[in-house]
Amino acid sequence: MSGERHSIAVLTSRSVPLPQGATELFYELGCPVSVYVPETLPNVLGEDMLFVWDTDLHEYMRRHWSTFSRVAWMHAAVTGVDSFLFPELVDSDITLTNAAGIYNVSIAEFVAYSVLAHAKRSGMLWSQQHEKTWKHIHSESVNGSQAVIYGTGSIGRTVGAMLHGLGLRVRGIDPYVTSADGFERIYSSDKMREAVEWADCFIICAPLTEATRHSINREVFSWMKPTCHVINVGRGAVIDEKDLIDALQSHRIGSASLDVFEQEPLPADSPLWDMNNVSISPHISGDAGDFEMALIRQFIDLAKTWLSGGDFPLVVDKEKGYAVRR
């Protein structure tokens, strides 16, 4: 392929501008690059490559799908692409890629932080400091505790390796992966109960698919230890949130650290806000360091591959809902 025969459309919004320095990197591609926001988007794009920077524009894209009829390759600057898998895109010939790998270490660090903060009673310590109270608190050791990671894709495996390095015993649940470094065992999906019953900490890294939607529900919570700490850095709707609230309120499970939710932002009237056994963060587990420029550089590398006629290392399987090796 010659780069001169191709062109790139970058789709974003005025509220989510490209990072400083991104435009200069696009020059490396040697082909035309146009940045659009919905207000300036033509009726039909002439470009054959689409980089979706503001990933909240999935509903806009579906409503105006005919605009993107000439696109052959689309890259979304996000790992979880479930919101983009509307029928029109799934049924199209568009090759879809995502930000696989960019967030792995940051999310793993965030999970490690959540595990340690819970074990070391950081919330209680902060409260005592705020109240200028000097009072002994007994904390827990994470060494030797048992963590189960639901979803052992690249993020889940990175989380597992980091927790293993902290001294935790790590197991996983996955329908396809059977072994990984740092994991002493990976259960198949039909062994969910056996895995859940073993866990002191249950960590969700699974993508949102038809198989995983609300797969962590009342029944699964009933299998957990009453002290189990649930961490969700995957997708909010993997958990049935009503069932989670019931499990927390009834002390069926011990606590939760939640970075993702079924509805985001989390509504102000959600009971989760007021629970002292819940830690809430605003979907930021992967947003660390210079992640925005890392996303830009990843797209540049993939675009060079596309323009040279090469194969992408990973593409999204639009039926399964996540990236797979070609």
CA angle 234, 276, 265 (to 5 degrees): 45
Contacts of 80 (CB under 8 A, 6+ apart): 98, 207, 208, 234, 235
pLDDT digits (tens, 9 = 90+) for 50-109: 999 999 999 999 999 999 999 999 999 999 999 999 999 999 999 999 999 999 999 999
79 lies in the same domain as 89: yes
Supply the pLDDT for residue 171. 98
Buried b (16+ CB within 10 A) or exposed e, 290-325: ebbebbbebbbebbeebbeeeebebbbebeebbbee
14 lies in the same domain as 154: no
Q: Helices 154-165 and 104-119, interaxial angle, to 10°?
A: 40
CATH (domain of 298) = 3.40.50.720
The model carries a pTM of 0.94
Query: 315 in helix, strand or coil?
Result: strand
108 lies in the same domain as 58: no
142 lies in the same domain as 274: yes
The CA distance from 198 to 275, in Å, is: 25
Supply the pLDDT for residue 326. 76
145 lies in the same domain as 258: yes
170 lies in the same domain as 23: no
Torsion, Cα of 118, 236, 200, 181 (10° steps) = -100
Residues of the chain with pLDDT under 70: 1-4
The token pair that represents 180 in the structure block: 């990984």
Supply the pLDDT for residue 113. 98
Query: Which residue from 302, 300, 303 is spatially nearest to 21, judged by alpha carbons?
Result: 300
The CA distance from 13 to 24, in Å, is: 19
97 lies in the same domain as 111: no
68 lies in the same domain as 88: yes
Do the beta carbons of residue 274 and residue 60 sit within 8 Å? no
Domain with 206 in it: 104-280
Residue type present at position 206: A
Q: Into how many domains does the chain fold? A: 2
262 lies in the same domain as 161: yes
CA angle 50, 155, 234 (to 5 degrees): 80
110 lies in the same domain as 96: no
CA angle 173, 99, 182 (to 5 degrees): 35
182 lies in the same domain as 238: yes
247 lies in the same domain as 296: no
